[in-house]
Structure 1
Amino acid sequence: MARWIAFPYDSAEYTYDAATLKKRWVRLHAGDAEPLPKDDKVLAAWVLYHAGEFQKATEAGLKAGAAGITVANKAQAIYANYLEKSEKTKLALFMEVVERAEVQAAAEPKNANAHYLMAYALGRYSQGISVAKALAQGLGSKVKNALETAIKLQPKHADAHIALGAFHAEVIDKVGSLLGRTQGASKDTGLAMYKTALELNPTSAIAMIEYANGLVMLEGDKKMKQAEKLYADAAACVAMDAMERLDVEMAKAELED
């Protein structure tokens, strides 16, 4: 595995030991509703993930066997999305996650995060190759079905609601509401998904950022003020781990533009 780019901020505040991670688990996993792992090796991989050691977390998760696939997939997907500079490498990393998550979902059909992480990685891959091209390849329905499955399995999965909101918004933004309907995309459903995500995880910077993006895509300039307020709220969030820090920094960067 080629050397990954290091997390660019001080991770001291996000470096938990196993006991502290267990205490903060519910707050740290308010987005993905992942159950606390029983396996110490998997918990250790999550410690690495939350501290921004994404490559080590991926490797540790894979070494831990089937129980570690979720942390490996999440660490790799988050790294690819936020830190990888090469577009080619990023797409390859996403597709590795998609393949592993598909195998995991087949083996554990009731594992909500197997479906969610497959959809997340495939959704980001689709954005990378262009949403229109991804829709033509039939990837849109795969993403939508996997997210709907994740939500059916775990109704409190805030991140799956965010991603499904983004699916509806992106499709309508790229192909229009008429063509979007053929892909099962609806403005009202998209907006409802974002709202539910924020109700489930009210301190989530990424929920605020994605909702802001979705509002502009679905409603246009008339929602710009509300979108800016959401970005300001996201920038003011207190990050509890490396991924949350990356979200907060992204919101700050957006406000400066």
Structure 2
Amino acid sequence: MSKWKTFPHDASGFAYEGDALWKAWERLHAGDQEPWPEDEASQDAWRAYHRGDFQNAVALGLKAETASGMAAANKAQSIYATYLVEDEDEKKELFEEVADRAEVALKEYPNSINAHYQHAYALGRYSQAISIAKALAQGLAGKCKASLDKTLALAPDHAEAHIALGAYHAEIIGKVGSMVGSLTYGVSKDAAEAHYQKALELISGSAIARIEYANGLLTMYGNKKVKDATALYEEAAECEAADAMERLDVEFAKSELSD
């Protein structure tokens, strides 16, 4: 594994050493519903993730050999690839690795909420990297949807899965249209918005919930929803970040507004 880029922002407020991680756990994991890990190895992997030390989080998470450690590793690699990797081939390779590891985790830890979610997330981001049309042709959409459905069966309040399902509906509609999307894939604009809105109910202070909702509106409605999307980006830019991922979300919202 080559040396990864360092987190490009001040991470001094995201250390969560000692009992600080336990005290902040509910807030930090409101979006992914990850259970508190009892073992120190997994805790250390999550500490590395939250402070933006993504490469170390992957190494520590895999070394822990637990469901939570694997979840930390996969989330760290996915967020790193999403925000800090510019090369498209490298992005695809990183997401493929996560999807492959998550498939193994699904067999070893079938009740791990985030084994299912990270499988879907990695497939979804990989699909975006290769184009939604190619992903649909390869049958990746069905695999992604199945993993998201399983995530919500295990954890109905998994806000990040609701966000991803919103994106699933929106992106298929954006590619094939509402009618074909409905008949062929069972997607709808109403379902997309319902998932985005549910996520905002569950994590009301979330930047990423607003960003993805804005993206979905633009994908489904185009210029008709620019005003609504802009308002969501403005709200996202004002959100308070509790860890490295959330800081990257906020900074992304700011960059969208400055373009």
Deviation at 1:64, TM superposition (A): 0.7
What's the CA shift string for 1:125-172, capped at 9, x where partnerless? 000000000000000011111111101110010000000000100010
- Equivalent of 1:237 in 239, 251, 255: 239
| AA matched with 1:194 | Y
Matching residue of 1:20 = 20
DSSP-derived class of the 1:110 partner: coil
| AA matched with 1:193 | H
Are the counterparts in 1 of residues 92 and 129 from structure 2 also a CA contact under 8 Å? yes
Runs of 5+ unmatched residues, structure 2: none
Are the counterparts in 2 of residues 7 and 53 from structure 1 also a CA contact under 8 Å? yes
Are the counterparts in 1 of residues 42 and 66 from structure 2 also a CA contact under 8 Å? no
Are the counterparts in 2 of residues 50 and 241 from structure 1 also a CA contact under 8 Å? yes
| AA matched with 2:59 | E
- Measure the CA separation in 1 of the matches of 2:18 and 2:65: 19
DSSP-derived class of the 2:37 partner: coil
- Measure the CA separation in 2 of the matches of 1:104 and 1:16: 27
- Measure the CA separation in 1 of the matches of 2:223 and 2:92: 31
Matched, 1:73 2:74: yes
Matching residue of 1:119 = 120
Deviation at 1:241, TM superposition (A): 0.4
Regions of 4+ moved over 4 Å: none
How much identity, in percent, do the aligned residues show?
57
Deviation at 1:179, TM superposition (A): 2.2
- Equivalent of 2:220 in 215, 218, 228: 218
- Measure the CA separation in 2 of the matches of 1:111 and 1:41: 17
- Equivalent of 2:202 in 200, 203, 217: 200
- Measure the CA separation in 1 of the matches of 2:216 and 2:91: 23
- Measure the CA separation in 2 of the matches of 1:18 and 1:130: 43
What's the TM-score once normalised by structure 2's chain length?
0.97
- Measure the CA separation in 1 of the matches of 2:28 and 2:152: 19
Deviation at 1:222, TM superposition (A): 2.5
DSSP-derived class of the 1:142 partner: helix
| AA matched with 2:56 | K
Are the counterparts in 2 of residues 49 and 75 from structure 1 also a CA contact under 8 Å? yes
Most deviating of 66-75 and 205-214? 66-75
What's the TM-score once normalised by structure 1's chain length?
0.98
Runs of 5+ unmatched residues, structure 1: none
The RMSD of aligned alpha carbons is 0.9
| AA matched with 1:226 | D
Q: Number of residues paired by the alignment?
A: 257
Matching residue of 2:134 = 133
